[in-house]
Amino acid sequence: MTTLPPSPPEDRFPAGRAAFPHRDLTGIGQLERHEVLYILDQAQRWVELNRQRSKHAELLSGLTIINAFFENSTRTLLSFEIAGKRLGADVVNMVAATSSLKKGETLIDTAITLNAMRADAIVIRHGSSGATQLIADKVDCPVLNAGDGSHEHPTQALLDALALRHALAERGEASEDFTGRTITICGDILHGRVARSSLLCLQALGATVRLCAPPALMPAGIEAMGAQVFDDFDAALEGSDVVMMLRLQSERMAGQFIPSAREYRHRYGLTAKRLKRAASDLLVMHPGPMNRGVEIDSEVADLAGRSLVTRQVEMGVAIRMACLDILTRAARGVEGWETQA
């Protein structure tokens, strides 16, 4: 028998606001700080369940979740699939290569089709920024963004925050947010949706965020979002508590953005040599997939105690379980959750 860890107290919401007020999760940009904290707290329950031998909860039993992925994914798709199944839902994966999209069906037609099948939640990954919102506007159930173009990837940012919370707690530095911490995100900031979602999430949790990239891979005017901008990685690392490495998103690049992979590694790679020069307790993160030997050396990626890469994957399932649970509460008739819209 599975013992379900207790639900944390529902004390995150300001007086008079009983429920998480959103029907969809399209981006971190839509969330307030207490809503981010609420999701992280809720996910802790699922971390504990996922560490038991029997990992089944029947919370979403009878519901159908469609994972509609119009862009390649390994860990995010698998993570959402496992999350839905552990909560007892029927999970169906639709991947672009086998869908009518190849026959020229529009995104809106696909949305209408998924809706007609009476899905109870739809998880979308798509190559175009804004695709999730477009689908959300056309369907009657909650829609979760699993990455839309270079716009947002909210569950990735949430799982990163949870992984970091755990790592800090294990060092005896437990705190609910990241006030006083400096976190550097280094890599292809221009094309990376993780950079945008993480920036918003980490800032909401009180961190100082540094963004580091070659000038060609840094969006113009990004300082307006409150980030400190660097093009010198060593300077960015100085005083950082955490570094998040991002992959070069070559599939989104039209033309040549960097002189060569070798040159890129030299200036922006988290090499073993560079890590030695950084603070001895610097934590290393990467959302995957990693290009080992380009933005991160294998020795660094696999460094026990410092690299959180596998921890991030673990937390991903728990975060997605929390999001699926929270967003389906209105439809499941959970008391106090009628107001999600």
* Contacts to ligand NCD by CB under 6 A: 75-76, 147, 153, 156, 193-194, 247, 287-288
Report, in Å, the least distance between residue 259 CB and ligand NCD. 21
Closest separation in Å from C-beta 185 to ligand NCD: 12
Least distance between ligand NCD and beta carbon 190 (Å): 13
**Nearer residue to ligand NCD within complex by CB, 119 or 159:** 159
Are the beta carbons of 150 and 249 closer than 8 angstroms? yes
Q: Would you tell me how many other CB atoms lie within 10 Å of the CB of residue 105?
A: 13
- For residue 324, is it left (φ>0), alpha (ψ between -120 and 50) or beta? alpha
Q: Which is nearer to ligand NCD, 1 or 97 (CB)?
A: 97
CB of 74 to ligand NCD, least distance (A): 8
Rounded Cα distance between 156 and 286, Å, is 10
Cis, bond preceding 259 (omega within 30 deg of 0): no
Least distance between ligand NCD and beta carbon 137 (Å): 23
| Identity of the residue, 49 or 246, whose beta carbon is nearer to ligand NCD in the bound complex | 246
Looking at residue 71, the DSSP 8-state letter turns out to be S
Q: Which is nearer to ligand NCD, 193 or 210 (CB)?
A: 193
Cβ distance to ligand NCD smaller for residue 19 or 195: 195
- Using left for φ > 0, alpha for ψ between -120 and 50, and beta otherwise, residue 88 falls in left
Cβ-proximal residues to 162 (8 Å cutoff; 6+ apart), any chain: 40, 43, 44, 47, 315, 318, 319
Q: At what angle do helices 154-170 and 33-50 cross, to 10 degrees?
A: 70
C-beta nearest to ligand NCD: residue: 247
CB of 71 to ligand NCD, least distance (A): 8
Nearer to ligand NCD, 141 or 194 (CB): 194
Chain centroid to Cα 242, Å, comes to: 17
